[in-house]
Amino acid sequence: MKAVVIYESLTGTTAKAGEMIAEELTRYGVEAVACSITEVNLPALSAAELVVVGSWTDGLVFAGQKPGRDWRLRKMPVIDGKLAAVYCTYAVKHGKTLPKLERIVRMRGGDTIGGYAIHRKKMEAGVTEFVGRILSALDKQTADAA
């Protein structure tokens, strides 16, 4: 399976997480590359069966959280028929960032299989957990389809 990780990042944390997610997926046999929402790797996206979309958390720290610069994400290329997973990075509280991001991805045609919030100071553990969940969801999909 091939995958692409598309991230929206203001100060680099979500980009770093995206690169780590792509590496971890590749380590487990899902050939993945990461790219910014401002420079989507279109050949990789067209070849991908799985699209991972990430954003940073924007809010008033304790309230009103949403995906950062969500207008960029709303304009991402259509991904009809592809599986999708979402993640956000955050500092204190992610609130409804993940369901909001999932909604955007579904509106672009993605078939969402889950999401995970990664604390910016616990990136390695967060990436390991998220990729583990993605791989389990993919296994379940394959088992259900058999």
Per CB under 6 A, residues contacting ligand FMN are 9-15, 56-61, 65, 89-94, 120
List all residues 6 or more positions away from 72 whose beta carbon is below 8 Å from its beta carbon.
Answer: 8, 37, 38
Name which of 6 and 83 has its Cβ closer to ligand FMN.
6
CB of 125 to ligand FMN, least distance (A): 15
Angstrom distance (rounded) from CA 8 to CA 54: 6
Q: Which residue of the chain is nearest ligand FMN when measured via CB?
A: 59
Q: What amino acid is encoded at 99 in this protein?
A: P
Return the structure tokens found at 64: 């009103």
State the minimum distance, in angstroms, from the CB of residue 141 to ligand FMN. 29
| Least Å from the CB of residue 19 to ligand FMN | 11
- Select 66 or 82, whichever has its Cβ closest to ligand FMN: 66
Distance CA 117, CA 22 (A): 16
